[in-house]
Structure 1
Amino acid sequence: MEGETNFSQISPLIFDGESYDLSAARMEAYLEALDLWEAVEEDYDVSALLDNPTIAQIKIHKEKKIKKAKLKSYCLFARVSQNVFTRIMTLKSAKIIWNYLKEEYAGDERVRNMQVLNLMREFKIQRMKETETIKQYFDKLFDIANKVRLLGTQFLDSRIVEKILVTIPKRYEASIAALENTKDLSKITLAEVLHALQALEQGRLMREDGSMVGVYLA
């Protein structure tokens, strides 16, 4: 019980009608961790107990009732804004609520395709700024890629790798050349590229700091 209480402290943010795909992904993961997602998918009815039920049957019956009540009242009703709540408060089951939210806020296929196209355009024009770190640039590209994935479109890590290798400043050319000599760039992972470029970046910063120390001591 204590573990469940602690976990509830990191529950998803309140859904206010914006960023549905991100909110839905968070909520699904949260419900799976609480062993409640099955109740959304199956939408089972809790049948009345038979005469003279066993202790095991009573326990299972109670658990199912509690699971459905908890799912509907706390994990769905309490995780939406007042405006969204007024739209779903008369719906009878978690599955009906979940499907309604998807139909209402996810947008139709045409809208989602347009969102994907816009994100693809945004990804295409990205270039690493001189003032950015490798991690900042990586996070920006990864964020766009994940938004595309949340909309149901495949986006391979290899596309991010290729984007990084062809759009970073010239000061990273030595690191890229080293990667080409030691790795097959068609199979290299995103983590390997990030770590290699960060190592070069940190080495350059340390040399610059050392130069500045030399200037102050001179």
Structure 2
Amino acid sequence: MSQSLSVPPFFDGSNYAYWKVRMRAFLKSLDEHVWISVQNGWKPPSSIVSGNIHLTDISLWTKDELAACNWNSKGIHALFMALSPEEFRRVSMCETAKEVWDILETTHEGTKIVKNSKLQMLASRFEEVRMKDDETFDEFYAKLNDIVNSSFNLGERIPETKIVRKVLRSLPERFRPKVTAIEESKDLDEVKIEELVGSLQTYELTLSQHQCGALGHTRSRCYKLGNERRSQNIPSQVSFLSNQVSHLTEMLTKLTKSNLSPKRIWVKKGDLIRLSGQEKCLVANVALKAQNSSMWYLDSACSRHMCGNKSLFTTLDECNGGMVTFGDGGSAPILGKGTVQMLGLPVISNVLYVEGLKSNLLSISQICDDDFEVSFVQKRCTVYDSSGGVVLEGVRTSDNCYGVLPNSNYVAIGENGDEN
């Protein structure tokens, strides 16, 4: 709502910093002498007779003394007109504009000690604030500008050169080429903050021209690219590759110590059939670290689904299926293949029965072969069907495995990935 230039900004006790700036501007607009009177105060003319102070009769005041009184009167009138009834009660007994201003300032900003504490907190916030990868430059600058304005309202102005340098060192990596160009081509002591802000806003707009053709958002917030990333299953692929690298690193570390364990031979997965002399030889790694025998673990390095508890199988075709080799070089025979069904878990088909296996393993590669999508994040692993529905969820356990606990809401998975 618009406000008349002759009416002071209203103050009801909330957002004092905002009102203080506007009220100072209003008092200055009345006359610069009014604001000087508010800052320095005013005392009625007086004289000292025989050691006693006597107020001078108003009829004897000089022209300058009358003018000073008028500046104070205008200031106190404007302040009284700006206050709500609740705030007016605090200052109704005041006779000078300075008294009114000081009482409001102390009430809503605190004493000098409190103001110094607030300034220290603002200084810490100023140094700590950084632009995040998922926020726009305008959002970051609004936070920084709020700190700068709050410090100014408490009586301490942050130098513009300090703000310029703070902005440049707080930007994320995507701004690095622009920051380098500014630092090399300009004297930062001469750069105006408004010029810098405009330049960075323009640069961000050029970065935000994606395949979607829209402007005004960062790449991380592009809806179209977000859908494409999901369709390409990038997070799942990255996490899968990271797990593979982790397993390979662990195997290489043990390979360097193989001379201390002459009975253990480490070879590539594809060479296991030739070396073992068995019809089939599969691999399982998570079984070495898993601690909970009642939990199913999602294993990116496990060849096929495996279970060592025969009682969990609802159907089982017993056969001699070869051997399973574990990460420590040990092995166990495959005695059959069937279907496992437990309360609160999906129906799991094509599960190998491995004698002596202490953990229940779900193969990531077998899940992907059945046209499901697997996504890993820091503390969770999620399996999606072709329509994007959640089929299975695993949580990261204390032993750094992804374990699936029973949940009655899971969608059952039949053979070939069909939903039941």
Normalised TM-score (structure 2): 0.41
State the distance in 2 between where 1:124 and 1:38 align: 35
1:25 pairs with one of 21, 28, 51: 21
Q: Counterpart in 2 of 1:92?
A: 95
Q: Counterpart in 1 of 2:185?
A: 182
Q: 1:57-93 CA distances to partner (integer Å, 9 max, x unpaired)? A: 8xxx7x98876555433x2112123222112112223
State the distance in 1 between where 2:111 and 2:69 align: 34
Confirm or deny: 8 A CA contact 1:15 1:23 kept in the other structure.
Answer: no
1:72 pairs with one of 70, 76, 98: 76
Greater RCO, CA 8 A, separation 6+:
1
Q: Counterpart in 2 of 1:205?
A: 208
State the distance in 2 between where 1:180 and 1:39 align: 45
Confirm or deny: 8 A CA contact 1:123 1:144 kept in the other structure.
Answer: yes
Q: How far is 1:188 from its partner?
A: 2.6
State the distance in 1 between where 2:201 and 2:167 align: 12
Q: How far is 1:190 from its partner?
A: 1.6
Sequence identity percentage: 28
State the distance in 2 between where 1:151 and 1:211 align: 41
RMSD: 3.3
The number of equivalent residue pairs is 197
Confirm or deny: 8 A CA contact 1:175 1:196 kept in the other structure.
Answer: no
- The residue identity in structure 2 corresponding to 1:30 is F
SS of the aligned residue for 1:210 comes to coil
Q: 1:11-50 CA distances to partner (integer Å, 9 max, x unpaired)? A: 424141x554543332122100122324434536597568
- Bigger mean CA offset, 185-194 vs 26-35: 185-194
Q: How far is 1:133 from its partner?
A: 2.2
Q: Counterpart in 1 of 2:11?
A: 14
Say yes or no: does 1:156 pair with 2:159: yes
Q: Counterpart in 2 of 1:43?
A: 42
The structure in which a higher percent of residues are strand is 2
Normalised TM-score (structure 1): 0.72
Q: 1:177-205 CA distances to partner (integer Å, 9 max, x unpaired)? A: 22133212354332232122112111222
Q: Which runs of 4+ in 1 moved over 4 A?
A: 18-22, 44-50, 63-70
Distance of aligned partners of 1:211 and 1:87 in 2 relative to their CA distance in 1, 3 Å threshold: closer
SS of the aligned residue for 1:8 comes to coil
State the distance in 1 between where 2:88 and 2:137 align: 42
State the distance in 2 between where 1:152 and 1:67 align: 24
SS of the aligned residue for 2:213 comes to helix
SS of the aligned residue for 1:191 comes to helix
Q: Counterpart in 1 of 2:195?
A: 192
- The residue identity in structure 1 corresponding to 2:11 is I
The structure in which a higher percent of residues are helix is 1
State the distance in 1 between where 2:103 and 2:184 align: 53
Distance of aligned partners of 1:71 and 1:137 in 2 relative to their CA distance in 1, 3 Å threshold: same
State the distance in 1 between where 2:37 and 2:167 align: 42
Q: How far is 1:128 from its partner?
A: 0.9
Q: Counterpart in 2 of 1:145?
A: 148
Structure 1 spans left out of the alignment, 5+ residues = 51-56
Q: Counterpart in 2 of 1:54?
A: none
Q: How far is 1:142 from its partner?
A: 1.7
Q: Counterpart in 2 of 1:34?
A: 30
Confirm or deny: 8 A CA contact 2:10 2:84 kept in the other structure.
Answer: no
State the distance in 2 between where 1:81 and 1:143 align: 26
Bigger Rg over Cα: 2
SS of the aligned residue for 1:127 comes to coil
State the distance in 2 between where 1:71 and 1:152 align: 21
Q: 1:127-168 CA distances to partner (integer Å, 9 max, x unpaired)? A: 112332222212221220121122222411222222221221
SS of the aligned residue for 2:188 comes to coil
Confirm or deny: 8 A CA contact 1:14 1:79 kept in the other structure.
Answer: yes
Confirm or deny: 8 A CA contact 2:130 2:170 kept in the other structure.
Answer: yes
Confirm or deny: 8 A CA contact 1:12 1:79 kept in the other structure.
Answer: yes
Confirm or deny: 8 A CA contact 2:28 2:35 kept in the other structure.
Answer: yes
Q: Counterpart in 2 of 1:53?
A: none
Q: How far is 1:207 from its partner?
A: 5.0
